[in-house]
């Protein structure tokens, strides 16, 4: 069950921090300005990495047992956060950034004892005086690979998510719980960031985020293959980490061939070259995601194959990618010759603007969430007396708030009342189900899955939704953390994890109704919650 709380804690902390940082970005100077090498045309805050890092680290500190390796992983993450944030504020030179990267990685390798001893095609392990320096250079290289791949909205985050999911699975099946938890924590931080990074992005992760992701991927790949499961092919990290490795190597090779500074930013990464071939933003990201997905699935399918097989597959696919890029560039081929939008872009844009994609999910939330409150309160048969008293109090609070709806403080009282009733209903449907239909658990899960899907669509794609960070975000963070702490002493078959998931989904459904600014649906929600709490109150007080 800790897997759930690790992911949720990181996600929710990240979601709560990023909106605050977006507002502070202009004051701190953490804004990415357009230039000819970049693909965005307006200033964008580059503060998302702070949310990713803090979300992941807080989750790890709460749920993961701290060993020496993990302690120095945390140390390195904080160092990279400091240097990355400094760079996002002041545009440090690459040599200064290298100082932070080497400090972070040397601590992990030499003091956390995380280093590569087993390598492809060699039966005997490397001695420490070779393996440790090699590991330092390799992880620093991975940090820069992810840092340089962060050129399109969602690109570095998506590539990292695929690799992290692969690491988490491989570690889980090998009983590497610590690696699994860390990978999930980082994924949770990235999920929270992606809420604000839909193209066109409202926020970039910046160096603080991209360096942390590269560091995490490099460290976890080493721990996975060198400590957690040494039976894996030692060539497996090439497939797990995938396209960013060969991309950065190809860029360095090009710069060296052209006599350029190796570390001076240029427009010759794979995503830049795809854009120059006429691929639009969506197509470029999909192409790179597809290649990275192939590598990750190959890693899962071929995890115990010979090193030669894995490296041949990896190098063969990479060679094919670059051959196709070079052929396209030299022949003048363009995927969208007339500069028009691609079919994929037209499909995505038409999907976003279609009523079934925008209006329907909003209407589904507005109708079914209030209905859930009323229907479930009528269905629940047994209500404890203390819940009944609380229900009466909540109904009274909502009634007073509706009578004096111009009082500013009422907004917070109403939110607390709504969230409290939602939590009660989710709990009661798990603990007091004797009066419910036999197929209610399946119907309940189907509803929450549909509600979660509708919420994701509305939050990410319906642009007139003012879905900002509110006290609810912090309440949800507290709920997840408190529930997880309670779970440490609960029985293994406890349903608290499931209740937290459903409670979070219901909370955000309520938040969308409140934040849409439509007074009619806001009143419908308030009345339904008042009715539900009144019904629960009556049932509880009638208990003998």
Binding-site annotation: residue ranges: 147, 207
Q: Is the Cβ–Cβ distance between 15 and 473 less than 8 Å?
A: yes
Rounded CA-CA distance 443/422 in Å is 17
Please give the DSSP secondary-structure letter assigned to residue 96.
H
Q: How far apart are CA 450 and CA 437, in angstroms?
A: 20
Annotated binding site for Mg(2+): 147, 207
**Paired strand residues for 32:** 44
* CA distances in angstroms from 403 to 51, 383, 406, 419, 536, listed in the order given: 39, 28, 9, 20, 22
Q: What are the residues whose beta carbons fall under 8 Å from the beta carbon of 488, sequence distance 6 or more?
A: none
Q: Are 461 and 389 in contact (CB under 8 A)?
A: no
Dihedral class, residue 154 (left if φ above 0, else alpha if ψ from -120 to 50, else beta): left
Do residues 32 and 82 lie in contact, with contact meaning Cβ atoms separated by under 8 Å? no
**For the chain, first and last CA: distance in Å?**
36
Tokens of 451: 């509600």
426 SS3 class: helix
384: exposed, middle or buried (C-beta count within 10 Å: 0-12, 13-18, 19+)?
Answer: middle
* Alpha carbon distances (Å) from 108 to 56, 76, 84, 142, 226: 17, 7, 18, 14, 14
Residue spans of alpha helices (H) in 29-154: 48-63, 68-90, 94-106, 128-149
Compute the distance between CA of residue 511 and CA of residue 455 in angstroms, rounded to an integer.
10
The DSSP annotation for 309-335 comes to HHHHHHHHHHHHHHHHHHHHHHHT--S
**146 contacts 214 by C-beta, under 8 angstroms:** yes
Instruction: List CB contacts of 264: < 8 A, sequence separation 6 or more.
Output: 94, 255
Phi, psi of 331, rounded to the nearest 5 degrees: -95, -5
Alpha-carbon distance of 45 to 42, in angstroms, equals: 10
Q: Which of 360, 341, 347, 63 is CA-nearest to residue 188?
A: 63
């Amino acid at each position: 069950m800790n897997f759930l709380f690790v992911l949720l804690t990181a996600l929710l902390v990240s979601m709560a921090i990023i909106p605050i940082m977006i507002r502070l970005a202009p004051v701190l100077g953490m804004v990415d300005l357009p230039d000819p090498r970049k693909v965005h045309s307006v200033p964008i805050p580059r503060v998302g990495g702070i949310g990713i890092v803090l979300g992941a680290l807080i989750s790890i500190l709460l749920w993961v047992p701290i060993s020496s390796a993990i302690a120095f992983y945390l140390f390195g993450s904080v160092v990279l956060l400091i240097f990355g944030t400094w760079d996002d504020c002041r545009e440090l030179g690459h040599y200064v950034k290298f100082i932070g990267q080497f400090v972070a990685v040397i601590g992990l390798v030499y003091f956390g004892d995380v280093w590569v001893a087993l390598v492809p095609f060699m039966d005997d392990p490397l001695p420490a005086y070779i393996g440790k320096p090699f590991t330092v250079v390799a992880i620093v290289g991975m940090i820069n690979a992810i840092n340089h791949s962060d050129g399109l909205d969602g690109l570095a985050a998506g590539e990292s998510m695929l690799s992290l999911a692969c690491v988490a699975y491989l570690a889980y099946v090998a009983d590497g719980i610590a690696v699994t938890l860390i990978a999930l924590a980082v994924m949770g931080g990235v999920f929270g960031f992606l809420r604000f990074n839909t193209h066109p992005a409202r926020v970039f992760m910046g160096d603080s985020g991209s360096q942390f992701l590269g560091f995490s991927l490099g460290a976890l790949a080493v721990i996975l293959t060198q400590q957690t499961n040494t039976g894996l092919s030692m060539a497996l990290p090439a497939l797990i980490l995938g396209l960013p490795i060969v991309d950065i190597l190809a860029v360095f090779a090009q710069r060296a061939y052209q006599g350029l500074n190796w570390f001076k930013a240029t427009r010759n990464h794979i995503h830049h070259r795809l854009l120059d071939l006429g691929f639009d933003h969506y197509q470029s990201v999909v192409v790179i995601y597809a290649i990275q997905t192939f590598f990750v699935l190959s890693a899962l399918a071929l995890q115990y194959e010979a090193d030669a097989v894995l490296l041949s597959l990896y190098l063969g696919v990479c060679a094919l990618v670059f051959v196709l890029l070079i052929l396209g560039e030299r022949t003048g081929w363009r995927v969208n010759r007339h500069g028009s939008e691609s079919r994929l872009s037209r499909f995505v844009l038409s999907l976003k603007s279609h009523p079934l994609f925008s209006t329907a999910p909003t209407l589904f939330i507005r109708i079914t969430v209030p209905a859930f409150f009323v229907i479930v309160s009528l269905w629940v048969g047994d209500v404890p007396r203390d819940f009944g008293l609380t229900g009466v109090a909540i109904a009274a609070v909502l009634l007073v708030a509706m009578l004096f709806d111009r009082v500013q403080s009422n907004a917070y009282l109403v939110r607390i009342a709504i969230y409290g009733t939602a939590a009660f209903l989710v709990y009661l449907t798990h603990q007091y189900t004797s009066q419910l239909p036999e197929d209610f658990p399946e119907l309940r899960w189907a509803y929450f899955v549909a509600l979660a899907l509708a919420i994701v669509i509305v939050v990410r794609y319906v642009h007139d939704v003012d879905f900002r960070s509110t006290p609810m975000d912090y309440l949800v963070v507290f709920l997840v953390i408190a529930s997880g702490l309670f779970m440490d002493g609960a029985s293994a078959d406890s349903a608290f994890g499931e209740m937290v998931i459903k409670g979070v989904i219901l909370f955000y459904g309520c938040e969308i109704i409140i934040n849409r600014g439509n007074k009619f649906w806001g009143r419908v929600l308030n009345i339904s919650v008042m009715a539900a709490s009144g019904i629960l109150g009556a049932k509880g007080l009638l208990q003998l």
